[in-house]
């Protein structure tokens, strides 16, 4: 579904990604790990269409289509979802209004009929339960005054509402206590199907105890330097990133 | 009798003076002495101050001289309109039961129906009230208006003949809001003068909704002055929905004097108009009075909206809140100049003022001048102003959920101004204004009124 070929990206003249190659197929769960500053979040944001980045080289296709040419909204409508590392607070825009607009725009694009008010509320109730989101959060402004855990659960709630094909979860585990982490993970697991795929961008292995990846990639200095099965995550947890850094730095010199 | 007089070869001040002097009888006719006696001083004050321009400190951001250029008809007498407006303007606020009355070109519409009001309450023509209840009206008329300090107030006082008069005696709560549909309609370019006087008695309550409309594609200048007295423990709401076309100049002066423990809200939504100037002076003249003064403006094209407020804390223990928000697009311009003055001995004053602006285009411009003058020492006051652009982080977040850029911007602009609309104390009106604002942002404003007239502002040149 997603093919990344030799992707080079810079921001403000600084090269961040230096030749990423990655292929993701339906039904798969990928974890992208790596030390701080390795380019993990950049990759996630570039895929979602954030405009601050410059694509220097390479291509990305999503179901065969050039992803990088699409606006952020069209990427979302085609089934790409980014769970933000730092969900944005939007005072004055209610969660209900926000989600109703989003769901209906996405449905319109996919040629599905608009939901009636009652259908929409029913859908919202269902999906809220999935991540144990307080009902009153729905009537509040988007992320305004939400705790860290509520914000992350709210991201997964939105994911559930929009039914994406490819979900990229950017550091969804950071700042979560263990209970919230379990809730978020069980939400993600419940949404998993043979038709969709998940990319977990994370620094820590802990999330991978709850969402088991098929592949683990290590991103370092803008490149994927190691790919293996889930056992790689345990190795990283045990030994840290230093051994990989050492290995690579030795290769370079 | 001539019903209208036209100004000739306009050179503003001289022309208005000439117009008045050669038609003095027409301007004096039908008005009692207390209205006519002040015209002489008003004329002197107007001539001395002239048409407001950016040279005047209080009009620093709004030059009204171009507005007064050209030839206008004025209305020293009532001109009947051949249309039955009442059948056109049934209350178009769903779920909101209101008393509806109309004013046309500044005058009280003579085909207004009698309202079913509690005993002693008067809602009607100022000219008629001045004749029928001269002592009552004279007691209040012009008492707050300093013609020497503001040329628009002087000009209004010079030419004032009619407008809306409201008197609510003590201890009467009128639950149903009064909706005033304030129309401008003429075959020629016109200058109208409207003089309103509202008195809300002790322990009484009143809500007034003013909707300003233009119904013909002529150039309009309307100079409206509203003088309001809110007595002890009274509650008064004044909502203004300004929706005129781009060739109009909507000039408003509102003076409010509040007695002890009274509570007011003024909330003005400038949805559409060529040049809009809102002067607002609030005098908190009794302890424990509270004034809530709010406004929004949404501008595009070459529109200009200027809100000028002056809140005077004359007595201790009063509270005032001011919140003004503006969204400016295209080449529109705006201004906010707000002043809080805490008088000596007005201790325990609580006064807040905030002005937030969003510029949607590189060519839009806003001037903001918050001012705080404090002559007491035990007060809690704050003021602040911000000018910004749309939050790009929030915009990306919304787009990343499949919402188009256009729709995402609308959501954010709507959220920005909703904070002001949310203050409205009449729920159905709040919902209605939300709807109007949404339509305004979508460029559909003219379709929202049950109106047979084609006055789509965008089509006006």
Residue B309 in domain: no
Q: Which residue has the higher pLDDT, A134 or B256?
A: B256
> Cβ–Cβ of B400/A77 closer than 8 Å?
no
Show which residues on chain B lie within 8 Å of chain A, measured between beta carbons.
Answer: 391, 393-394, 396-405, 407-408, 411-412, 414-416, 418-419
The pLDDT score that the predictor gives to residue B425 is 95
Pairing of strands B248-258, B275-284: parallel
Residue of A nearest to B421 (CA): A92
Contact A102 B415 (CB under 8 A): no
Dihedral angle sign, alpha carbons of residues A24, A131, B393, B298: positive
Which residue of chain B comes nearest to A84, CA vs CA? B397
pLDDT given for residue B11 in this prediction: 59
Least confidently predicted of A204-208, B274-278, B422-426? A204-208
pLDDT in tens, B414-426: 999 999 999 999 9
pLDDT at position B93 is: 55
The reply to whether residue B412 touches residue A90, judged by beta carbons under 8 angstroms, is yes
Confidence of residue B7 (pLDDT cuts 50, 70, 90): very low
- For residues A5 and A58, the answer to whether their CB atoms sit within 8 Å is yes
Tens digit of each residue's pLDDT (9 = 90 or more) over B24-56: 999 999 999 999 999 999 999 999 999 999 999
**Residue B396 and residue A162: Cβ atoms within 8 Å?**
no
- Cβ A97–B411 below 8 Å, yes or no? yes
Task: Please tell me the predicted confidence (pLDDT) of residue B446.
Answer: 54
What whole-number percentage of chain B has pLDDT above 90?
A: 80
A92 interaction partners in chain B (CB closer than 8 Å): 414-416, 418-419
The answer to the question of residue B362 being in a domain is: no
Total domain count for chain B?
A: 1
pLDDT (tens digit per residue) in B350-398: 999 999 999 999 999 999 999 999 999 999 999 999 999 999 999 999 9
The pLDDT value recorded for residue B94 is 60
Which of the four pLDDT bands, split at 50, 70 and 90, describes residue B458? Answer: very low
- Torsion angle, CA of A12/A14/A20/A26, rounded to 10 degrees? -30
Q: How confident is the model at residue B157 (pLDDT cuts 50, 70, 90)?
A: very high
pLDDT classification of B455: cutoffs 50, 70, 90: very low
Give the number of A-B residue pairs with CB atoms closer than 8 Å: 77
Report d(CA B366, CA B322) in Å as an integer. Answer: 18
CA angle B85, B89, B94 (to 5 degrees): 170
pLDDT bracket for residue B338 (50, 70, 90): very high
Contact B402 A109 (CB under 8 A): yes
Query: d(Cα B448, Cα B442) in Å, to the nearest integer?
Result: 12
Looking at residue B170, its pLDDT comes to 98
With beta carbons under 8 A apart, name residues in chain B contacting A93: 398, 411-412, 414-415
Summarised one tens digit per residue, pLDDT across range B431-444 is 889 988 988 898 87
Q: What percentage of chain A exceeds 90 in pLDDT?
A: 70
Q: Stretch A43-67: mean pLDDT, rounded?
A: 95
- The arithmetic mean of pLDDT across residues A1-30, rounded, is 95
Mean pLDDT of the B3-12 span: 53
Mean pLDDT of B213-238: 95
pLDDT at B449: 44
Does A242 contact B at CB distance below 8 Å? no
Q: What pLDDT is attached to residue B83?
A: 73
- Is position B343 within any domain? no
pLDDT score, position B80: 85
Task: Please tell me the predicted confidence (pLDDT) of residue A242.
Answer: 84
Measured between beta carbons, which residues in chain A are less than 8 angstroms from residue B391? 88, 90
Mutate to test the interface with B, among A50, A71, A84, A88 (most CBs of B within 10 A): A88
CA distance A240 to B195: 79
Q: How far apart are CA B352 and CA B380, in angstroms?
A: 8
CA distance B266 to B280: 9
The answer to whether the Cβ–Cβ distance between A73 and B415 falls below 8 Å is no
Of A90, A102, A142, the CB nearest to B402: A102
In CATH, the number for domain A2-252 is: 3.40.50.300
Which of B392, B397, B399, B402 is the best residue to mutate to test the A interface, defined by the most A CB atoms within 10 Å of its own CB? Answer: B402
- At A169 the pLDDT is 95
pLDDT digits (tens, 9 = 90+) for A239-248: 888 888 888 7
Least confident of B7-16, B93-102, B137-146, B361-370: B7-16
Report the gap between the CA of A69 and the closest CA in chain B (Å). 15
Q: At residue A215, what are phi and psi to the nearest 5 degrees?
A: -135, 145
Residue from the list B391, B399, B419 with its beta carbon closest to the beta carbon of A73: B399
In a domain, B293, yes or no: no
**Which residue of A88, A92, A158 is in closest CB contact with B418?**
A92
Which residue segment(s) compose the domain that B220 sits in?
5-286+424-459
Give the per-residue pLDDT at B450. Answer: 40
- How far, in Å, CA of A203 to CA of A75, rounded? 25
Burial class, A5, CB count within 10 angstroms (exposed 0-12 / middle 13-18 / buried 19+): middle
Tell me: pLDDT of B92 over 70. no
A chain contacts of residue B408, beta-carbon cutoff 8 Å? 73
pLDDT greater than 60 at residue B1: no
Q: pLDDT band at A132, cuts 50/70/90?
A: confident
Picking from A102, A143, A154, A161 by the largest number of B CB atoms within 10 A of its own CB, the best residue to mutate is A102
Q: Which of B414, B428, B354 is nearest to A92 (CA)?
A: B414
Asked if pLDDT for residue B119 goes beyond 80, the answer is yes
Average per-residue pLDDT for chain B: 91
Strand partners, B340: B311, B372
pLDDT tens, position by position, A159-182: 999 999 999 999 998 888 888 899
Per DSSP, the three-state class of B406 is helix
CB contact under 8 A, B394 and A92: no
Residue B438, domain member (yes or no): yes
B5: left (phi over 0), alpha (psi -120 to 50) or beta: beta
Q: Given CB atoms, is A158 within the 8 Å cutoff of chain B?
A: yes
> Mutate which of B401, B403, B407 to test chain A, going by most A C-beta atoms within 10 A?
B401
Q: How many CB atoms lie within 10 A of CB B248?
A: 27
Higher pLDDT among residues B302 and B85, named by residue: B302
Provide the pLDDT confidence category of residue B59 given band limits of 50, 70 and 90.
very high
Which residues does chain A have within 8 Å of residue B399's beta carbon, measured at their own beta carbons? 49, 71-73, 76
pLDDT band of B451, cuts 50, 70, 90: very low
* Interface subset of A 14-73, CB within 8 angstroms of B: 48-51, 71-73
């Amino acid at each position: 579904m997603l093919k990344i070929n030799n992707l080079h990206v810079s921001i403000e003249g600084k090269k961040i990604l230096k030749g990423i190659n990655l292929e993701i197929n339906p039904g798969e769960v990928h974890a992208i790990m790596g030390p701080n500053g390795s380019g993990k979040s950049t990759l996630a944001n570039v895929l979602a269409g954030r405009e601050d980045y410059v694509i220097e080289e390479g291509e990305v296709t999503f179901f065969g289509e050039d992803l990088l040419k699409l606006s952020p909204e069209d990427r979302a409508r085609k089934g790409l979802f980014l769970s933000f590392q730092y969900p944005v607070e939007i005072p004055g825009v209610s969660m209900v209004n926000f989600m109703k607009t989003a769901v209906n725009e996405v449905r319109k694009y996919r040629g599905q009929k608009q939901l009636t008010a009652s259908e929409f509320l029913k859908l919202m109730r269902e999906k809220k339960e999935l991540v144990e989101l307080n009902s009153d959060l729905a009537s509040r402004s988007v992320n305004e005054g939400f705790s860290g855990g509520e914000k992350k659960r709210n991201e997964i709630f939105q994911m559930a509402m929009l039914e994406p094909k490819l979900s990229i979860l950017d550091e969804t585990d950071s700042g979560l206590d263990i209970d919230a982490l379990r809730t978020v993970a069980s939400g993600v697991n419940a949404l998993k199907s043979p038709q969709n795929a998940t990319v977990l961008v994370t620094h820590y292995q802990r999330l991978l105890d709850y969402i088991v990846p098929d592949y683990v990639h290590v991103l370092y200095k803008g490149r994927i330097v190691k790919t293996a099965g889930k056992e790689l995550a345990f190795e990283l947890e045990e030994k840290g990133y230093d051994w990989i850094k050492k290995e690579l730095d030795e290769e370079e010199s | 009798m001539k019903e209208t007089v036209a100004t000739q070869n306009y050179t503003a001040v001289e022309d208005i003076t000439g117009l008045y002097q050669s038609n003095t009888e027409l301007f004096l006719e039908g008005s009692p002495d207390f209205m006519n006696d002040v015209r002489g001083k008003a004329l002197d004050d107007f001539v001395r101050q002239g048409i407001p321009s950016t040279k005047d400190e209080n009009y620093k951001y709004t030059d009204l001289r171009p507005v007064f250029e050209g030839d206008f008809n004025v209305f020293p007498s009532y001109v009947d309109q051949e249309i039955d407006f009442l059948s056109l303007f049934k209350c178009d606020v769903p779920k909101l039961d209101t008393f509806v009355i109309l004013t046309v070109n500044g005058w009280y519409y003579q085909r207004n129906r009698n309202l079913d009001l509690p005993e002693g309450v008067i809602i009607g023509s100022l000219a008629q009230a001045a004749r029928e209840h001269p002592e009552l009206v004279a007691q209040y008329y012009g008492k707050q208006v300093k013609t020497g300090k503001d040329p628009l107030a002087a000009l209004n006082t010079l030419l004032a003949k009619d407008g809306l008069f409201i008197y609510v005696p003590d201890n009467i709560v009128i639950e149903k809001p009064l909706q005033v549909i304030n129309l401008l309609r003429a075959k020629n370019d016109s200058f109208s003068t409207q003089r309103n006087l509202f008195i809300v008695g002790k322990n009484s309550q009143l809500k007034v909704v003013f909707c300003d409309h233009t119904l013909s594609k002529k150039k309009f200048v309307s100079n409206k002055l509203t003088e309001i007295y809110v007595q002890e423990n009274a509650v008064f709401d004044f909502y203004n929905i300004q929706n005129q076309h781009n060739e109009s100049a909507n000039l408003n002066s509102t003076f409010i004097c509040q007695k002890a423990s009274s509570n007011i809200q003024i909330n003005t939504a400038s949805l559409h108009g060529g040049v809009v100037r809102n002067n607002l002076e609030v005098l908190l003249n009794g302890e424990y009075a509270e004034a809530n003064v709010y406004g929004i403006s949404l501008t595009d094209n070459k529109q200009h909206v200027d809100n000028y407020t002056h809140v005077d804390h004359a007595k201790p223990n009063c509270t005032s809140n001011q919140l003004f928000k503006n969204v400016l697009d295209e080449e529109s311009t705006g201004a906010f100049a707000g002043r809080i003055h805490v008088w000596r001995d007005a201790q325990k004053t609580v006064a807040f003022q905030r002005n937030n602006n969003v510029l949607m285009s590189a060519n839009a411009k806003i001037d903001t001048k918050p001012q705080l003058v404090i002559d007491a020492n035990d007060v809690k006051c704050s003021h602040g102003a911000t000018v910004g652009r749309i939050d790009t982080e929030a915009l990306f977040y919304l787009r990343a959920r499949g919402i188009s850029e256009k729709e995402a911007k609308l959501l954010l602009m709507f959220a920005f101004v909703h904070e002001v609309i949310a203050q409205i104390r009449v729920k159905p009106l709040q919902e209605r204004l939300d709807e109007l604002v949404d339509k305004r942002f979508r460029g559909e404003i003219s379709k929202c009124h049950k109106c047979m007239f084609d006055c789509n502002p965008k089509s006006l040149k």
